[in-house]
Amino acid sequence: MDRQGGLFIWLGASIFLLLSSQAFLWIFLRRQHVKMRHFFIGTPGYLDFKYIGWCREHERGYLTMIIVRAVLAFSIILAVLVIQNALKGGAYSTRNEGPLCGTKVFSECRNGIATRVR
């Protein structure tokens, strides 16, 4: 498997886990007879807000579930950014590109590293 294939598996797994936790949370809250507006169930944070309310009402801890869901959401964002960078050729590809290459100060670049000052 190549590098990009692994990145897409990471993205797919992150999305699957976040959606699974969303479904789990919805089923759990529904079984606990928590009143929810079905229009807002897909809105990010709505079920988390309802879960926090239920936990406070029943004097239970909610921090672990909220942290896990935040990490899963962050993982999706990070995976998208890494894949976008990989599809562009990376930040420093073997082409003569780099953060300073092609600027008014540096004239030559080798493997993405500015080597000669004008």
Q: Which residues of 71-92 are buried (b: 16+ CB within 10 A; e: fewer)?
A: ebeebbeebeeeeeeeeeeeee
pTM for the whole structure: 0.67
More confident residue, 93 or 113: 113
- pLDDT tens string 100-112: 555 555 555 555 5
Read off the pLDDT of residues 75-92 as tens digits, 9 standing for 90 and up. 999 988 888 887 776 544
